Chain A
């Protein structure tokens, strides 16, 4: 087990820089998820830590040792690939044992460990089979077994669940979470799926364009997104955004836009008179309220779409040309064509400077 330190990591392919000055410390036992849209550099970063990709600049250290010039085998890492990357010409048993054979572990010892790991992951019945005879979920379990058996200092997962169907993905996610609970191995997990990130991570590192957009616990990232990008990326359904301008009204800030006005206490936002802001409202913060006449902190409009989700329904309407979504209890959902007013509690509002995209939320006292 080990901590990982990335300091000033750069990665360039020729003239194209994909990662610029990346800094991150990962504590021992920590489960860190690199989250971001495709092309944000998260997989490249993982591969640099694994030793599969050269590090153009900066330093990666694992357990206090600089590993920049070490082969993957000397870094004490094990990796699970998106497409499983099992050895197709070997049996499941040999797939799992392959790494140990290289380490010149004794045959009897290999056998014990393979059977133990296969037992943990429910793979005993398949040990004599070839990878192609297994389902996607089973193959992924073999890939995890192959990583586990080496008792690595660090686990690296590269979008391990994205080739599985939705049901299996949920199941495997839980298995990975359990595995980490029992093994406690330092883990880096790359995904573009925010649900995986939120449920698995001790800490999420949200990346965009090769740089960290925000790093923090799932709660921090959800409740206090640092930038407009983070706010838009995290949370399903997506956060609603409205353009507003700030106006000072004595004790409170008035945020006014096209046909809307919000009153927010001065302690929530750090803003100045006339600042152009983007207001962020999560669909789940909206709740149906009586009528809209002359009231503040209200979003109202003509419902043009109602999506039934089961317990909830996503209601869409337009405010000043912007599509707004509201998540309401399905039992109480309005019908298409109705005009409905939704109240928005001031303490659920987010606001971002329109020029910089940075949140203007004040630090908690």
Chain B
């Protein structure tokens, strides 16, 4: 069993959704995560709010942002256990953010810390 991180990227994270729509997404996300946890494959995860976000650049200057307008900002992630990348991809397919046009879920293996990766 390996661990994979599923990174949610929003095409336009700033798009304002109605409170009702937000409520539905939240519920869908909770049910999606619950379904993974019910298979004992959920490790952890979190949303990443844009409030107070900063970017530190190579010359150590700090800018505000990203605000979510820029393409492909990260909105959150979860970490799952899976026997293969294919299984992790199956989990990712259920992610509610994929209902938004242009949004993506990136599936990446997490290095095991055993010196192999």
Same complex for A and B? Answer no
- Chain B positions within 8 Å of A, measured between CB atoms, are none
A interface list, Cβ under 8 A from B:
none
